[in-house]
Amino acid sequence: MQSKKRPGPASPSGPVRLVSHTAIGVAMGLALALLLILVDPANIATLVAHGGRQAIAVFVGTIVLTFGIGATLTAAVFILTEDR
């Protein structure tokens, strides 16, 4: 009896799985960035406020991109190393 095999990265659902992990990483990064600005544990909001709107955009963008790229790479590793 054959077991059901999960599709690999070359199948149509591979990119969909990568995009879904990327979206989750971006959402987590955005939540963390906003939480850091609102809670202000290490005077981050004060430092960012001195830079104006561009500094806020760079701060949030950096965290969002870092989480998005990290989630995408992690998903790629998980997909490639799944038992086939």
pLDDT per residue as tens digits for the range 10-69: 566 878 889 999 999 999 999 999 999 889 888 888 888 888 889 989 999 999 999 999
Long-range contacts of 74-83 (CB under 8 A, 24+ apart): 74/21, 75/17, 75/18, 75/21, 75/22, 76/9, 76/18, 79/8, 79/9, 79/14, 79/17, 79/18, 80/8, 80/9, 82/6, 82/8
